[in-house]
């Protein structure tokens, strides 16, 4: 047998092992997604590149590593999101710790951060700060993993950022991410987004941002099973009869808590874009803009305070 033929046979045998791994989760995921998930697992847990996988490094795992990989695959077969299985998620160029109890950061939310950062850089009504006395003060309501608060804190110079949440799990995870990513200008605090009227923060913030619960119960039928069964419902759903429940409470607070020239940013439910806009107009906000995400959905909204 020639050297070339022997290499081809080895390649086929080794690729079959990798193929079996991703095929084992195809009942839940399409082939391309299943392959990407398994490659991510092998990269994060075992440091394998695509070249390593092709060259058969999967077959060189120790017995202990094989057992751990089998457990990971079993969790994936049950529909648990790979981010929870691995304990991390990439967001806006950084890796955040995540676990059940917080939403998995989405690319659409990173687009919202990019919009805010662009506005802050261009100084659209936002006072740029260079020291504690005139810092850009940013509030992230319903902070979850802290991905928005930390991203803005690290990317916007001269900023002081606060993240609020009601979930004890979320607060613990967000605080852990602050330490993990060395975001010393970000602090995480307990606050109920539906009880903001009880606070007296007139003119405190330059920017308020929120990605609050906005999916109506009636929309559950169209959602992925792994999201419904594993991500926290408290961070996802609102009653069908109150789709703007969180938006209204946050906007009412922002109408007084924002500095003059400040801005309120929301990630929104596209099907309620018109209603969200009208609600903001009714509260006196100006220059209301809606921005589409990469999928062409009306996903982000900005409103200014005069």
pLDDT value of residue 131: 45
Regarding whether 138 and 238 lie in a shared domain, the answer is yes
Least confident segment among 15-19, 27-31, 212-216, 244-248: 15-19
- Paired tokens of 8: 């081809």
Regarding whether 256 and 204 lie in a shared domain, the answer is yes
pLDDT value of residue 246: 93
Regarding whether 197 and 151 lie in a shared domain, the answer is yes
pLDDT value of residue 267: 97
Phi and psi (nearest 5°) for 137?
-95, 120
Does residue 88 sit within a domain?
Answer: no
Summarised one tens digit per residue, pLDDT across range 46-83 is: 999 999 998 888 988 898 999 999 999 999 999 999 99
Mean pLDDT of the chain: 89
Does residue 134 sit within a domain?
Answer: yes
pTM equals 0.88
Summarised one tens digit per residue, pLDDT across range 84-124 is: 999 999 999 999 999 998 999 999 999 999 999 999 988 74
Regarding whether 255 and 212 lie in a shared domain, the answer is yes
d(C-alpha 41, C-alpha 45), whole Å: 6
Does residue 70 sit within a domain?
Answer: yes
Q: pLDDT band for position 128 (50/70/90)? A: very low
Does residue 83 sit within a domain?
Answer: no
% of residues, the chain, pLDDT over 70: 90
Least confident segment among 84-88, 147-151, 229-233, 280-284: 229-233
Of 180, 144, 160, residue with least CA distance to 152: 160
Summarised one tens digit per residue, pLDDT across range 7-16 is: 333 333 333 4
pLDDT value of residue 120: 94
Regarding whether 175 and 40 lie in a shared domain, the answer is no
What Cα–Cα distance (Å) separates residue 139 from each residue in 21, 134, 143, 246, 254?
A: 43, 15, 9, 15, 10
Does residue 1 sit within a domain?
Answer: no
Phi and psi (nearest 5°) for 44?
-70, -45
Summarised one tens digit per residue, pLDDT across range 161-179 is: 999 999 999 999 999 999 9
Number of domains present in the structure of the chain:
2
Does residue 253 sit within a domain?
Answer: yes
pLDDT value of residue 13: 33
Does residue 11 sit within a domain?
Answer: no
- pLDDT for 133 beyond 70: no
Q: pLDDT band for position 5 (50/70/90)? A: very low
Regarding whether 139 and 56 lie in a shared domain, the answer is no
pLDDT value of residue 6: 36
Alpha helices in the chain (DSSP H): 3-23, 31-46, 50-54, 63-77, 82-86, 107-122, 147-155, 168-180, 225-230, 245-257, 273-282
Regarding whether 190 and 118 lie in a shared domain, the answer is yes
């Amino acid at each position: 047998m020639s050297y070339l033929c022997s290499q081809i046979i080895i390649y086929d045998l080794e690729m079959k092992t990798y193929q079996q791994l991703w095929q084992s989760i195809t009942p839940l995921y399409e082939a391309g997604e299943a392959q990407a998930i398994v490659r991510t697992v092998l990269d994060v847990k075992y440091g394998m590149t695509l070249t390593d996988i092709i060259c058969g490094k999967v077959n060189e795992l120790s017995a202990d590593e094989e057992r751990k990989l089998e457990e990971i695959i079993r969790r994936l077969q049950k529909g648990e999101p790979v981010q929870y299985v691995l304990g991390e998620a990439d967001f806006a160029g950084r890796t955040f710790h995540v676990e059940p109890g917080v939403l998995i950061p989405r690319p659409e939310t990173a687009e919202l951060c990019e919009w805010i950062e662009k506005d802050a850089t261009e100084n659209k009504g936002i006072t740029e700060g260079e020291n504690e006395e005139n810092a850009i003060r940013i509030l992230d309501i319903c902070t979850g993993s802290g991905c928005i608060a930390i991203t803005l804190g690290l990317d916007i110079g001269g900023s002081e950022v606060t993240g609020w949440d009601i979930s004890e799990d979320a607060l613990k995870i967000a605080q852990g991410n602050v330490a993990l990513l060395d975001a010393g200008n970000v602090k995480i605090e307990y606050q109920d987004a539906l009880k903001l009227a009880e606070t007296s923060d007139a003119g405190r913030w330059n920017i308020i941002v929120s990605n609050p619960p906005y999916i109506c119960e009636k929309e559950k039928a169209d959602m992925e099973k792994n999201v419904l069964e594993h991500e926290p419902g408290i961070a996802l759903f609102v009653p069908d009869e109150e789709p703007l429940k969180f938006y209204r409470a946050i906007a009412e607070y922002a109408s007084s808590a924002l500095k003059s020239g400040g801005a309120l940013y929301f990630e929104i439910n596209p099907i309620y874009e018109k209603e969200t806009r009208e609600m903001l107009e009714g509260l006196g906000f100006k220059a209301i803009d809606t921005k589409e995400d990469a999928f062409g959905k009306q996903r982000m909204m900005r409103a200014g305070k005069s």
